[in-house]
Structure 1
């Protein structure tokens, strides 16, 4: 649709917006220029959506489609004009559901008016005509030409957002509808050329194409590693594969549910506690099929939670559907193609879950069932994603999400599950159900990254490893849960020999992962047992100066009383003088009124680093800070931001950090649940100022910094470990 067509009924010329109204200009990358040239009209700069949305309750994919028409350029002046054009279109023509009667009146008074609304079409068999229904405007039975329906077949399958000219012509006949459709222009994709998409993909390298997909879902690929990018793309597999079952558990704030709520008009995100058998599968009272019959992907948000209860009948029907693509409620057996996704937050760290239970630990009891879990095709490790920050969002070009969603829907008919067999062979130990999970994940990734189905041996191997790992994560946990299950050797053979595939947590925590005797086939029992001797998060010995480093101390070695440090002395570090007293603690309370300035916040995160080194990585360690709020509002805001950042980063080490403000505090101390109180004369701020350049060794090693004059006093309570026992 041209600008002239859209502005035919709009007042006056568009005034260019002020600079403050638009996103900050950025120089487009070579990849962005390449994307814009290769896919004109179906790509958009991803940071523009928020700039135009305002209060309009309009889907993101509609906004992106409009921006793709008017702001898909690297010229900032054109972008500014395009943004204002889209704003003007939404302001003057978008129909808010609560204002439908006002808009109907406007059409009657003017005789003709242009609107933006979702239009769906059905065939009136009695009169042999097509009739349109307008979702927000609230009118129906509006006759629409057969040619228009043939040109835009999606009108018949759920509806399309359109810009329409509506005419009011009352004839006096009460049987006639006074509304007439003068013109209709889809602003959502209504026709797709999949072959053109597949052919144009060949203009990009694999790395460029993956970056394009990552930008399309809203993230900056420069902030993500190669592995993380692939894990993001696994989240898209339910849209491109029929009957694909995916689970992702991990910390909150990592974007687990975002892609299922905003990415595609073919996906439905529901709360895990709000679903019933009739709503999800079929209502026996009226025979109406549920969500699985209408959506490509049904995602359950907030699925985790041990105390949550689930309907046993729902779980049983879900198990049958996930395994056989069909379900029955005693009337008839029905089939559907919807993929199932389960996302939820974890309350514990990975090592804690591995030591005390399993990686499905957070699921409600009814779903913590081997028969249900065995239907999961892949487990995405949500703990590997960083918490979403502002700089992680993309400012580059990506596909309009509606366009990409239609591409993925069209690709559901394809099957690339055997495309690895020219180069690789799966282990014969892998069962049919395990093999199905691997095949579906691999096929989905192939369709996303190599839509033609053709790829090099190395590229295919990389995708197969991700697919195997996702299913192995499921199976290894099932072996923990169900003692009747046998450990499986996951891997594949190439012309170069056998390749074992492990999970990342297996490599990071082997002494915990294999605690039930699951040993790598190429490893020895002695090696596994030796690894099990490792109990702390980091090195067995705290970091320190080469000269002053001391052997690890036991409780009997720790002294009470004061220690004095003269100004200018070097060799002090939190590891050396705090670490031994914090060893084995699970609850640590810090009181320091002066955690305000950036360097004081740095001191705090360095103390948390020491705590991470000397505490059990499989334990839940909680650190609580009490400090004073800065008196200056602007500084207080920055102080809170720093503490929030520290909380997010402490979680990476499995440490739950919280803080509180209290104006009355003065003394400074560290107290542990092992009975030690460390009284801090100066608090944590004991170092002389120094250059904070990355090239200054003092930034990396505290022992090279000069200290201020200060005193530390160690006090042992009567409940502390007695002499002769180890503090661990």
Structure 2
């Protein structure tokens, strides 16, 4: 979106509308390597002295910042040296983080120094009135410190503050953002936000820009639950660690309910009450020492509250889960689900994942390379984080209702998730509330895809309960319904199209842990003396027994299929593949019997066919358990035709119509009938 067809230099416009609020991000990167101060402190100083595009002025500004930091920044290991300097010189300037408390017994305000280690230092009330953040967690400041020891007032600190100047944003005028936003086009504003995170938007695909913005939503939206899994080195945790002083990155994963939610002994709320966003790095390592930890987390993610003891507490912190996917996405889609990297106690719990509002596809974001890092102007970290915090007080959750209705496949949790994502992205892109219907539609489509990605995985984990994944929205004006799809779904089916080899057959069955899996059986017939050799079975006794049942039935009944089958002059080699890695099934006898006949006759089974059902030694067919879920697994695997025992006809009423239209059911009355139907013999 160009501004009236004229290309403006964005850096000049940014410095025009946000003078002193922006910094050249490459300066931050080079300075950060030399001084171990928070990024937001460094950028505030750079914003003061280097907010220009004049090269000479920038160089002078950098020298000034270096000088200020080297002379005045208090390193914790040099605290005693600095205190001595203040005493010996009588007055000295320092840079430190100051927190102020009211001492009601003395009726004075007292400051505590983070690195200098001083506390109880009196501070003038006018500083507290002017910079109220001193009372709310503290701010970094440049201070002139005086020293005077009075024998008469031994209980008073000899240190005092004669001058204080914040080097963080002491307060935030949100109107400044609203006004400045009017001067930039949508594209320019998005580019400015992305540069503020340190990345260069001109090097990014359009969908990647949206993903970077989505990473910011937990910082502007209360109680927003987001998950991002992807390859290493894509900057998943950078924003929560470096960009905002209002978010915390929990590394290592080990945590306690007391630390995260509420400490019963100290009666203090944990991290969710102290931070705007709590991000968990490396989800695979998340562990709670308390048995009820995950349950409390689930309650909090659903309602923003949690019960401990007799009390119920509320908090507004958003939850972010970031982690690595070590396999390709195609492999995960085929063999498992996209939540697989989570620890086992979470990955088997569909209710936990149902509370995630958006699944950000980290595999679509490129790995960090030098050209992806910006050398242009972006907001000072402290300024943008205060903008984010201010926007948490506002909401746009009902905005989409003005233009659109959500389709009937979205349940209440889906609706909440989509509305929260829409609200968060509006706060970021249109903070002044100036947008049109097309703007909201663009955001809505993106929000629906992120929630549908969650639902697609829930369908794999939880079965029919989460079947409704055909997300759509309806235009209130035209009543036209539009559907959204998830890019990675639908590709790479387990059952390929086209005719397979003779002796190859697919089946669906229940594994030992109750999950429904897809299995491929490959049979080969060679010259021999009637031996049956199995591979891929390992030590699974029940699977072996089911395969042996099929071979015994085959030796006794092969002539009922074809007189040309000669068992005593052949050996039968079989290999089974557990395509989803969930463990073998004992429901293999019918499929293996068909596979043996197919290999013996050198005739392939029908295209895209899968077998349901099992039998005992005598060939009696057994009922298919969880019939509707089995049909769903068949469809997800790519089957077009499903061979079904006739006894399951009554179970068809449990299968949704939209699932049934995707398959051609073929019924068989006994194992030999199953062979003829599978081979397409009338």
TM-score normalised by structure 2 residue count: 0.70
The answer to whether structure 1 residue 325 and structure 2 residue 304 are counterparts is yes
**Alpha carbons of 1:272 and 1:312: their partners in 2 closer, same or farther (altered >3 Å)?**
farther
Cα distance, 1:428 vs structure 2: 2.7
Cα distance, 1:330 vs structure 2: 2.2
2:493 to 496, 499, 511: 511
CA distance in 2: counterparts of 1:489 and 1:502, whole angstroms: 8
CA distance in 1: counterparts of 2:63 and 2:34, whole angstroms: 15
Q: Which residue of 2 is the match for residue 263 of structure 1?
A: 243
CA distance in 1: counterparts of 2:146 and 2:47, whole angstroms: 28
RMSD of aligned Cα (Å):
2.2
- 8 Å CA contact 2:228–2:359 kept in 1: the answer is yes
Q: Which residue of 1 is the match for residue 97 of structure 2?
A: 118
The answer to whether structure 1 residue 301 and structure 2 residue 296 are counterparts is no
The answer to whether structure 1 residue 489 and structure 2 residue 470 are counterparts is yes
The answer to whether structure 1 residue 108 and structure 2 residue 87 are counterparts is yes
The answer to whether structure 1 residue 335 and structure 2 residue 314 are counterparts is yes
Q: Which residue of 2 is the match for residue 179 of structure 1?
A: 159
Q: Which residue of 2 is the match for residue 643 of structure 1?
A: none
CA distance in 1: counterparts of 2:181 and 2:125, whole angstroms: 34
**Alpha carbons of 1:53 and 1:292: their partners in 2 closer, same or farther (altered >3 Å)?**
same
Higher CA-based Rg: 2
Q: Which residue of 1 is the match for residue 118 of structure 2?
A: 139
The answer to whether structure 1 residue 274 and structure 2 residue 257 are counterparts is no
CA distance in 2: counterparts of 1:505 and 1:498, whole angstroms: 22
**Alpha carbons of 1:392 and 1:532: their partners in 2 closer, same or farther (altered >3 Å)?**
farther
- 8 Å CA contact 2:400–2:419 kept in 1: the answer is no
- Deviation by residue 1:668-688 (Cα, 9 ceiling, x = unmatched): xxxxxxxxxxxxxxxxxxxxx
- 8 Å CA contact 1:112–1:168 kept in 2: the answer is yes
Query: Match of 1:121, SS?
Result: strand
Query: Match of 1:504, SS?
Result: coil
Q: Which residue of 2 is the match for residue 540 of structure 1?
A: none
Q: Which residue of 2 is the match for residue 501 of structure 1?
A: 484
Q: Which residue of 2 is the match for residue 6 of structure 1?
A: none
**Alpha carbons of 1:198 and 1:102: their partners in 2 closer, same or farther (altered >3 Å)?**
same
- Structure 1 ranges of 4+ moved more than 4 A: 308-311, 529-533
**Alpha carbons of 1:377 and 1:45: their partners in 2 closer, same or farther (altered >3 Å)?**
same
- 8 Å CA contact 1:309–1:366 kept in 2: the answer is no
- Deviation by residue 1:418-468 (Cα, 9 ceiling, x = unmatched): 212222221133111000000111100000000012212222111111111
Cα distance, 1:53 vs structure 2: 2.9
Q: Which residue of 2 is the match for residue 434 of structure 1?
A: 414
Unaligned runs of at least 5 residues, structure 2: 1-6, 501-578, 582-682
Query: Match of 1:246, SS?
Result: strand
Cα distance, 1:329 vs structure 2: 2.4
**Alpha carbons of 1:252 and 1:432: their partners in 2 closer, same or farther (altered >3 Å)?**
same
CA distance in 1: counterparts of 2:353 and 2:438, whole angstroms: 31
The answer to whether structure 1 residue 152 and structure 2 residue 131 are counterparts is yes
Cα distance, 1:51 vs structure 2: 2.6
- 8 Å CA contact 1:352–1:619 kept in 2: the answer is no
Cα distance, 1:141 vs structure 2: 1.2
Query: Match of 1:489, SS?
Result: coil
Equivalenced residues, count: 494
Cα distance, 1:484 vs structure 2: 3.5
Query: Match of 1:83, SS?
Result: helix
Query: Match of 1:334, SS?
Result: strand
Q: Which residue of 1 is the match for residue 586 of structure 2?
A: none
Q: Which residue of 2 is the match for residue 352 of structure 1?
A: 331
CA distance in 2: counterparts of 1:236 and 1:250, whole angstroms: 17
**Alpha carbons of 1:106 and 1:358: their partners in 2 closer, same or farther (altered >3 Å)?**
same
CA distance in 2: counterparts of 1:273 and 1:205, whole angstroms: 41
Q: Which residue of 2 is the match for residue 217 of structure 1?
A: 197
CA distance in 1: counterparts of 2:149 and 2:8, whole angstroms: 55
**Alpha carbons of 1:430 and 1:272: their partners in 2 closer, same or farther (altered >3 Å)?**
farther
Q: Which residue of 2 is the match for residue 205 of structure 1?
A: 185
Q: Which residue of 2 is the match for residue 686 of structure 1?
A: none
Q: Which residue of 2 is the match for residue 99 of structure 1?
A: 78
- 8 Å CA contact 2:147–2:158 kept in 1: the answer is yes
**Alpha carbons of 1:382 and 1:54: their partners in 2 closer, same or farther (altered >3 Å)?**
closer
- 8 Å CA contact 1:304–1:346 kept in 2: the answer is no
Query: Match of 1:236, SS?
Result: helix
- 8 Å CA contact 2:410–2:468 kept in 1: the answer is no
CA distance in 2: counterparts of 1:354 and 1:532, whole angstroms: 23
- Deviation by residue 1:54-73 (Cα, 9 ceiling, x = unmatched): 44221001101100000010
Unaligned runs of at least 5 residues, structure 1: 1-27, 516-528, 534-617, 621-728
- 8 Å CA contact 2:334–2:492 kept in 1: the answer is no
CA distance in 1: counterparts of 2:470 and 2:224, whole angstroms: 23
Query: Match of 2:298, SS?
Result: helix
CA distance in 2: counterparts of 1:244 and 1:273, whole angstroms: 19
Cα distance, 1:328 vs structure 2: 1.7
